[in-house]
Amino acid sequence: MCGILAVLGVGDVSLAKRSRIIELSRRLRHRGPDWSGIHSFEDCYLAHQRLAIVDPTSGDQPLYNEDKTVIVTVNGEIYNHEELKAKLKSHKFQTGSDCEVIAHLYEEYGEEFVDMLDGMFSFVLLDTRDKSFIAARDAIGICPLYMGWGLDGSVWFSSEMKALSDDCERFISFPPGHLYSSKTGGLRRWYNPPWFSESIPSAPYDPLLIRESFEKAVLKRLMTDVPFGVLLSGGLDSSLVASVVSRHLAETKVARQWGNKLHTFCIGLKGSPDLKAAKEVADYLGTVHHELHFTVQEGIDALEEVIYHIETYDVTTIRASTPMFLMSRKIKSLGVKMVLSGEGSDEIFGGYLYFHKAPNKKEFHEETCRKIKALHLYDCLRANKATSAWGLEARVPFLDKNFINVAMDLDPECKMIRRDLGRIEKWVLRNAFDDDEKPYLPKHILYRQKEQFSDGVGYSWIDGLKDHANAHVSDSMMTNASFVYPENTPTTKEAYYYRTVFEKFYPKNAARLTVPGGPSVACSTAKAVEWDAAWSKLIDPSGRAALGVHDAAYEEEKAPASVNPILENAFRSPAHGESTLVKTVVPTAAV
Catalytic annotation, residues:
2
Give the DSSP H or E segment for 291: strand 288-293
Distances (CA, A) of 132 to 46, 135, 138: 13, 11, 21
> Does 231 appear as a known binding residue?
yes
Instruction: State yes or no: 274 annotated in a binding site.
Output: no
Angle, helix 379-388 to helix 315-333, in steps of 10 degrees:
30
Quote the CA–CA distance of 423 and 506 in Å, as a whole number: 45
DSSP string, 390-401: TT-EEE-GGG-H
- Quote the CA–CA distance of 108 and 89 in Å, as a whole number: 11
**Cis amide linkage into residue 62, ω under 30° from 0:** yes
Encoded amino acid at 539, one letter: I
The torsion of the CA quartet 254, 256, 262, 263, rounded to 10 degrees, works out to -80
Q: Which helix (H) or strand (E) holds 134?
A: strand 132-137
Q: Is 267 annotated as belonging to a binding site?
A: yes
Q: Decide if 37 contacts 52 (C-beta within 8 A).
A: no
Q: What is the DSSP string of 367-392?
A: HHHHHHHTGGGTHHHHHHHHHHTTT-
Strands of 338-340's sheet in order across: 288-293, 263-268, 228-231, 338-340, 393-395
533 CB neighbour count, 10 Å cutoff? 10
Q: How far is CA 87 from CA 80, 221, 261, 455, in A?
A: 11, 21, 35, 47
Q: Which residues are annotated as a binding site?
A: 98, 231, 267, 341-342
Q: Which residues are annotated as a binding site for L-glutamine?
A: 98
Q: Which residues are annotated as a binding site for ATP?
A: 231, 267, 341-342
